Structure 1
């Protein structure tokens, strides 16, 4: 293309233009710009060829070599020249030429050949260029040959360095605290550790500093080991690790251990100065601390002395105050005795304090103690005497309903305005003290109530009438400055016992059982029994029995002993004892008909005892004497006086209410009560004295022993039956007015015209569930009929059986003793299943001493513990028996046989583990846990059963499905099957149509200890240590999927997992510790409970789901005095078998009891089934010569095993045997000291004698 003239024709393409290339042709216009030139690059021999790109594998990529930064292309650090002398040559050097005076410009530069010893065949000879040696080409050729030789030698050096880095031991030297860094070994070590050189250099510096401080002259260091230590964390790298890198460790360590070596270094003087200063400061501090301790000891001695002096002064003051109070007491009681005959005829105020003064143990065992003290509200009926005003002290504030009921009761008896003559008070501080405090004690601690009483009795004749007399009643009389109508408290405590009562009866010549009194221990019991057997040789058989069957009846006579000396019988009752405790009366019947009344009257008249006044009750027992026969060959009935009950008893107060309601008069000659049909009016009535009614005369005669004002004609006879204490928790659901309306509609009421019917004794509102019942009839049979009708009405209103207690699971109240039922209960609220069988039985052919219980094989495999009690709450022994085709039998040994035709009852409790099956077996974290329970619908028994009922108590109301074996009912979380009647005995327990299957929700934790090793170390030095090694597993439904902490926090309320362990430790537990191997249990909380025990809560970092496990150690100590009991030259250790963690089941338990050294005659008592007891010989340690060990092994353990402790008893040489080991150590040290002194003196004498000879 012509650039000058575009219109000119294009020039011809010649060969020269083609050689210019494609770019030239396009530029010059021979090829248009849009033409495709690709074919020109795909064919021919073009410089640029166009071809398909090849894709290589990533793995075949060559590894890039480390670039060199030195100008010569290699590492110059390891390059060294050969400084050996070269042989002389004939060619003069330029320097020589200069020295000789030659012309330097005419000299020729000769290259120096640097060669190394190497095989000749390593490199081919270098060809010299052709031509002369003096031309310019010759000079360039010489330079090229020199560089080529230099590179060839560098390659040799590089190969040597690589061999050195690979095969060298890298051992270097530290001389006088400095590393020799110019050795090939160190240079190679530095080259190989250049990636870790920072840490390696720090380690070398630390090693240099340490060797410098100890002035170590020479040390050989293992570089390989130092490199491994340098890779460690700097915080974990210590002196020991650094010293382990030194090869000549023996020389270095011996030098470093040399005394004073550390002070020979560069900083030695400074370290010596610091040490001297620290020792001096320690000496000064120790001296000041010793002086401080001396001052503290002096202060302690002074404080103890001051306390002792104050205590002695306080004792003297208290002694003077008590002596003054005693003088006041004696003076006012003497005045009271002297003025009694006048006082009982005048206007007076009676302060009624129905207190129950007894020991704390008795009061703590009584349920509803404060309400029991208020059961004597019938004392207010004493205002039937117009000369009597009453102050009634109640244990608590009476509700308005109770006050109105009592006022209405008094108005029905003929008292027109009882509110003006009665003051109902209560201690204002009753809520600030424990419930088991007696009423008198609470009154003494309530100053406002005391002031009210003093203000009301000021200027009037007054005295106190208490309940069971105690020492606090005497203090109350002194505080109020009014006398006490009752026994002296000191004498009441004595006469209230069986031994004290026998003294009274022996002085009055009253028949008492043959026996001994004032027995305080087992030795005295044996001696007394031996004397009785020797004295009464006519007795062929002596049987010690708690409830002898020959006892016919129990009789109680209530007496009143005037301060002037007169003894009066106020009433006599037949007592009916409680089935649970035959020493405790449950109801009373008046009049008594079991023994002749004249026998009681004669014996009571003989009880004229000096210094005993007030109210009291005497208990008698009648029995059949087979030695003395009467007409018809019947054994003669005999009467023995058993005990004296000081104070105003419930039976005596009930008779006051009976006489007040029925307006009857007690006949002291016949012992019966009759209605008063006529009473002539008094001759004159004082203006200040109200008219006396018939009811007032009757009550006046009873309480004051004052003769009536006129003759009374005896009318119809009346009898009554009283149940002074009926406790039923379900009565709290009754409304006050609704209950009494229901009673009236059903005929349970009192007829005032006929003086027949039922009257309730209310001690508190119905919400307390306590009341009393008095039934009056024309005779004892009618009274019993009315009482039965009233009890059945209460049972219809609130049910016969009370609901179980939420804590103990036991049923409260005494109402079931009147009407009993039989049933079986499965408690499935936890993973440990509890089965409770209430069984009533009777044998009309023979007496029953053993009852057999059957357990199906499926249940027996998981049976953990079984216990049994009688209806009287007596513990029965359970013995494993034989096997049948379907069941395992267990025999319950009754403590006393049930007589032929008599009704007996037992309560069997069994515990089962791993009997609940999760279904599904695996659940997600947020899902509820469902389990399945299978059981026979009736109790398998070898006996025919009249009726059975099965109740299943579930933890929630969510029930997926359950078997419908009719009849069945569901109420909340309780399933009830039955009642089933006429169940045959010996039937197979588990056929397909007889099993109960319940599928329900159970989110309670399945806390199972697969292994528990409990070690109890008994020490006579003051501590008993206990340690538990526990492997815990959640045996519920396994966790499906992963664990999410966020999801766990969101669904924590419904999760079946658990993350805390609650352990209730003993009362005196100290030094509590725990540890966890994996660190899951990291938090704990220790607190004191109200019952004195200590609660330890262990919190896990992660919750435990189904199938998850963990392990922990738990230990604590107890004082030896609180665990070990010393009696009769033997020591007895009592402890719990299982763990202290609540609601935990143990698969495999091993208990080791390590006794102190010297213990002999070891005896173990383990009152459980399937316990393996082994005795190992000795457990030796460096502290002793051997200690006996007792090992108990048991599988399938539940918390119920802790209800009965195991016992380990042993003999111990003496109280001073414990000092045997310290005495041996001290003696050995003293012996060595004496031996050293003797040898030293002998050595000195030998030297002196040798010196003299020389």
Structure 2
């Protein structure tokens, strides 16, 4: 096989030699023709003969190469390969003048890729030179090559064997240098040849600039020049290139701008379409909800009408009361209330309404109760029935007459402070259970603070609601709404203005200045936010801090009450008040509960936004607040259910307990006021349970007792729930019109002359009670309920069923256990107050230490009870003094 290569090489050399001779002959003939222009020679025949000879030689050469390439070749051994590689390289370097030597290159079919690669490697190794030594350098000046330059002629002559491929690479390099106006480029000849061989097949598609510049000896200078911004436009065709570039950039900018505009319009169209679909869907859902709520409202009104028509029959027959102690406050109020579920469960003592043998109670609880609480109330109800000498069957039936249900939605929405009606609305299993329990029975719902979901629950259960419609309750349950009802009932209210929505603080200052000018006897002014409750949204400011008050009071006494009532005399005082009121309020106004509104600025912001009431605090040092619970029956009658004098804790504007029955107002006076309020509510379609807050004091100038109505809650109150427990454990009856709590004593047996047993009617005795429904102590959480009761029993804190006096507790939750209720019953009011205060003191001492006092309202309540006791003693002494001799 090596012989084949050798013969091939010799034959190729012969072909090359013949072709060179023919080319030389052609050149000589052209010279002869130039010298002998006048002579006629047959050049065409000679030229055709030469071309024919070239074609024959080329054909034979191609046939030979075809024969050689189709033969199966065997690579030589490694040793022979290295030897022959060196020989070929030496041969090529020693004979670089053959221009067509590439015709001798041998190519194999694709199946012999390894052989082809070997030949390519041989060719590449044949032109390899040291990278830092250039034997054939030449120079390109301003993109032009001097063909007569010695260095270029030497390079061209040396690599004429590869010139056909080198020429294309050289043209690309020259074109690049012209386009970028490169003044001087030093080309490495060997690098150019190597680049031409490497990129023989690929560079025509696009020569890489960096690779092409790498063959230059001063490549770093040229590359820096080529990469300089704008350099392309300084060279050959730079103006046209700049114009093309500008046009392309502009077209790209126009096209991208149009594309972005299209994208924005497409996005806007999509957004508008989605918004429109959402709006349409929301409108459709809103209309469906409105229609559903309207249908629920119509059904509620229809059932309420049926309830009103048959109320007398319902009250005298078996009935089931569904108690839902829901606090339907607005969401903004609910989310800020800590322990919202416990607040709703404070009225768990509604269970005690089963003391009426015709009543069954379904109590919906806002959170899970522990077994100890369930056992406590079950035992309490059983013991009260046992003491009433009821047979065992009736006792067991009494226990079966109340059911406590917890909506399953409590487990899913425990962190959202949702009102109980909403939780029940989303609890289908509990609703189904209630439907099964009331199936075939007369039933109605007693809710809490009205909410729109009350209608949904009532419609789902198909029962009426004993209460006002949510919209009516929303109007009249505000501070302004309650004041309008009191004014309509023609009862006394504190001086002030209601239904005020202030857009500007100056308007508030004008109203306040006018009220202060007309009521000099008032020493403190109250500001009440309409939507707040339990003293949360109340602030106060004392007139004594006003610097001009003494001067204004002197002016008032100088002119006298009648003359001072004229406007022109009041005007200087009014203007002086207007000047000083802003600073006076900013410095001395205080919110009643600092944890709700930390300062006057925060309170004022809410007050101006929501509006409210400005009214006077009673002008007396001895002020008593009362709570009266009324039942506005659907049939049109008003019944007083409970009445008591309030007890206060840390906040003097919030009630945490009361003494029952009330003793501060004559019962007939109180009854008259309550009947007027009840009738005014019925005229406004308010039915159900309402709670009225009154305040009483003595006018120092006339020594006349005044009674003001200050607040109205359209709900079943916690005070009424505790009163139900009081009546349950004592078996008594609260006669609000007579102002007495009548308790039957146990029956006694007497032996008659005929030795038969005759039973006397149990005698009725009067009792007094102290109720605390909002007792709080953070240290109570350290004791479980059974431990707490053992501790109380050790100190003799318990209730004596025989004597109908002692202490009873109300439990609200099983987790935190910080809130409890307590009732003390005694033969007189002083004894009940003392027992209540002693119980608080003992409990506080048992669960507290010098280092761990805890947060509590026990201390303030004890202090308030001491003040009441002192006033009670003074009233007794005064009564004894006024008694005729």
So what's the TM-score if we normalise by structure 1? 0.41
* Structure-1 residue corresponding to 2:772: 723
Asked whether the equivalents of residues 496 and 643 of structure 1 are also in contact (C-alpha less than 8 Å), the reply is no
Q: Cα distance, 1:290 vs. partner?
A: 6.4
Q: Cα distance, 1:586 vs. partner?
A: 2.0
Q: Cα distance, 1:657 vs. partner?
A: 1.0
Cα distance between partner residues in 2 of 1:582 and 1:736: 30
* Structure-2 residue corresponding to 1:664: 732
* Structure-2 residue corresponding to 1:601: 671
Q: Cα distance, 1:530 vs. partner?
A: 5.7
Asked whether the equivalents of residues 575 and 586 of structure 1 are also in contact (C-alpha less than 8 Å), the reply is yes
* Structure-1 residue corresponding to 2:381: 410
Asked whether the equivalents of residues 233 and 242 of structure 2 are also in contact (C-alpha less than 8 Å), the reply is no
Q: Cα distance, 1:520 vs. partner?
A: 1.1
* Structure-2 residue corresponding to 1:644: 712
Asked whether the equivalents of residues 486 and 709 of structure 2 are also in contact (C-alpha less than 8 Å), the reply is yes
Please give the per-residue CA displacement for 1:452-490, whole angstroms capped at 9, x wherever unaligned.
111111221111111222322233222221111122222
Please tell me whether residue 356 in structure 1 is matched to residue 338 in structure 2: no
Structure 1 pair 241–642 and aligned structure 2 pair: CA distance change class (3 A): farther
Q: Cα distance, 1:817 vs. partner?
A: 5.0
* Structure-2 residue corresponding to 1:582: 652
Asked whether the equivalents of residues 697 and 707 of structure 2 are also in contact (C-alpha less than 8 Å), the reply is yes
Q: Cα distance, 1:764 vs. partner?
A: 1.9
Cα distance between partner residues in 1 of 2:409 and 2:850: 36
Asked whether the equivalents of residues 735 and 766 of structure 1 are also in contact (C-alpha less than 8 Å), the reply is no
Q: Cα distance, 1:318 vs. partner?
A: 3.0
Superposition map of 1:18-97 within 5 A: none
Asked whether the equivalents of residues 770 and 824 of structure 2 are also in contact (C-alpha less than 8 Å), the reply is yes
Cα distance between partner residues in 2 of 1:567 and 1:576: 26
- More displaced, 428-437 or 300-309? 300-309
Secondary structure at the counterpart of residue 517 of structure 1: strand
Asked whether the equivalents of residues 177 and 212 of structure 1 are also in contact (C-alpha less than 8 Å), the reply is no
Asked whether the equivalents of residues 557 and 618 of structure 1 are also in contact (C-alpha less than 8 Å), the reply is yes
Please tell me whether residue 381 in structure 1 is matched to residue 430 in structure 2: no
* Structure-2 residue corresponding to 1:617: 691
* Structure-2 residue corresponding to 1:396: 367
Please tell me whether residue 334 in structure 1 is matched to residue 305 in structure 2: yes
Structure 1 pair 252–342 and aligned structure 2 pair: CA distance change class (3 A): closer
Asked whether the equivalents of residues 734 and 766 of structure 1 are also in contact (C-alpha less than 8 Å), the reply is no
Q: Cα distance, 1:304 vs. partner?
A: 3.7
Asked whether the equivalents of residues 143 and 177 of structure 2 are also in contact (C-alpha less than 8 Å), the reply is no
So what's the TM-score if we normalise by structure 2? 0.57
Q: Cα distance, 1:755 vs. partner?
A: 1.4
Asked whether the equivalents of residues 311 and 634 of structure 2 are also in contact (C-alpha less than 8 Å), the reply is yes
Cα distance between partner residues in 2 of 1:339 and 1:574: 35
Secondary structure at the counterpart of residue 686 of structure 2: coil
* Structure-1 residue corresponding to 2:820: 771
Asked whether the equivalents of residues 221 and 245 of structure 1 are also in contact (C-alpha less than 8 Å), the reply is no
Cα distance between partner residues in 2 of 1:324 and 1:291: 48
Could you tell me which of 369, 378, 399 is aligned with 1:419? 399
Q: Cα distance, 1:333 vs. partner?
A: 0.7
Cα distance between partner residues in 2 of 1:525 and 1:790: 46
Please tell me whether residue 562 in structure 1 is matched to residue 630 in structure 2: no
Asked whether the equivalents of residues 214 and 261 of structure 1 are also in contact (C-alpha less than 8 Å), the reply is no
Asked whether the equivalents of residues 322 and 445 of structure 2 are also in contact (C-alpha less than 8 Å), the reply is yes
* Structure-2 residue corresponding to 1:746: 795
- More displaced, 371-380 or 330-339? 371-380
* Structure-2 residue corresponding to 1:176: 143
Superposition map of 1:930-945 within 5 A: none
Cα distance between partner residues in 2 of 1:473 and 1:278: 68
* Structure-2 residue corresponding to 1:219: 183
* Structure-2 residue corresponding to 1:34: none
More helix by share: 2
Structure 1 pair 819–612 and aligned structure 2 pair: CA distance change class (3 A): closer
Cα distance between partner residues in 1 of 2:819 and 2:224: 84
Could you tell me which of 401, 420, 440 is aligned with 2:421? 440
Could you tell me which of 629, 635, 640 is aligned with 2:702? 629
* Structure-2 residue corresponding to 1:452: 433
Please give the per-residue CA displacement for 1:652-697, whole angstroms capped at 9, x wherever unaligned.
11111112212222223332212225999xxxxxxxxxxxxx9xxx
Cα distance between partner residues in 2 of 1:419 and 1:210: 110
Q: Cα distance, 1:244 vs. partner?
A: 7.1
Cα distance between partner residues in 1 of 2:633 and 2:811: 30
Secondary structure at the counterpart of residue 346 of structure 1: coil
Q: Cα distance, 1:281 vs. partner?
A: 8.8
Asked whether the equivalents of residues 445 and 458 of structure 2 are also in contact (C-alpha less than 8 Å), the reply is yes
Cα distance between partner residues in 2 of 1:250 and 1:396: 78
* Structure-1 residue corresponding to 2:786: 737
Corresponding pairs, count: 568
The answer to which structure, 1 or 2, has the higher relative contact order (CA under 8 A, 6+ apart) is 2
Secondary structure at the counterpart of residue 326 of structure 2: strand
Runs of 5+ unmatched residues, structure 2:
1-138, 152-168, 187-209, 387-394, 520-563, 593-616, 749-758, 864-885
Asked whether the equivalents of residues 800 and 816 of structure 1 are also in contact (C-alpha less than 8 Å), the reply is no
* Structure-2 residue corresponding to 1:466: 447
Superposition map of 1:122-141 within 5 A: none
* Structure-1 residue corresponding to 2:89: none
Asked whether the equivalents of residues 215 and 261 of structure 1 are also in contact (C-alpha less than 8 Å), the reply is no
Please give the per-residue CA displacement for 1:98-118, whole angstroms capped at 9, x wherever unaligned.
xxxxxxxxxxxxxxxxxxxxx
* Structure-2 residue corresponding to 1:488: 469
Superposition map of 1:360-375 within 5 A: 360-375=331-346
Cα distance between partner residues in 1 of 2:490 and 2:239: 97
Structure 1 pair 470–301 and aligned structure 2 pair: CA distance change class (3 A): closer
Q: Cα distance, 1:787 vs. partner?
A: 1.9
RMSD of aligned Cα (Å)? 4.6
Please give the per-residue CA displacement for 1:38-88, whole angstroms capped at 9, x wherever unaligned.
xxxxxxxxxxxxxxxxxxxxxxxxxxxxxxxxxxxxxxxxxxxxxxxxxxx
Q: Cα distance, 1:803 vs. partner?
A: 6.6
More strand by share: 1
* Structure-1 residue corresponding to 2:661: 591
Cα distance between partner residues in 2 of 1:529 and 1:424: 50
* Structure-1 residue corresponding to 2:811: 762
Superposition map of 1:982-1061 within 5 A: none
Cα distance between partner residues in 1 of 2:740 and 2:460: 40
Asked whether the equivalents of residues 215 and 262 of structure 1 are also in contact (C-alpha less than 8 Å), the reply is no
Asked whether the equivalents of residues 798 and 808 of structure 2 are also in contact (C-alpha less than 8 Å), the reply is yes
Structure 1 pair 262–568 and aligned structure 2 pair: CA distance change class (3 A): closer
* Structure-2 residue corresponding to 1:525: 508
Cα distance between partner residues in 2 of 1:351 and 1:339: 18
Asked whether the equivalents of residues 575 and 589 of structure 1 are also in contact (C-alpha less than 8 Å), the reply is yes
* Structure-2 residue corresponding to 1:571: 642
Q: Cα distance, 1:500 vs. partner?
A: 0.5
Asked whether the equivalents of residues 757 and 775 of structure 1 are also in contact (C-alpha less than 8 Å), the reply is yes
Please give the per-residue CA displacement for 1:581-633, whole angstroms capped at 9, x wherever unaligned.
3332222222323333333222112121322211111111234544x233xxx
Asked whether the equivalents of residues 256 and 262 of structure 1 are also in contact (C-alpha less than 8 Å), the reply is no
* Structure-1 residue corresponding to 2:408: 428
- More displaced, 662-671 or 610-619? 662-671
Structure 1 pair 210–562 and aligned structure 2 pair: CA distance change class (3 A): farther
Secondary structure at the counterpart of residue 606 of structure 1: helix
Secondary structure at the counterpart of residue 413 of structure 1: helix
Secondary structure at the counterpart of residue 390 of structure 1: strand
* Structure-2 residue corresponding to 1:999: none
Structure 1 pair 218–508 and aligned structure 2 pair: CA distance change class (3 A): closer
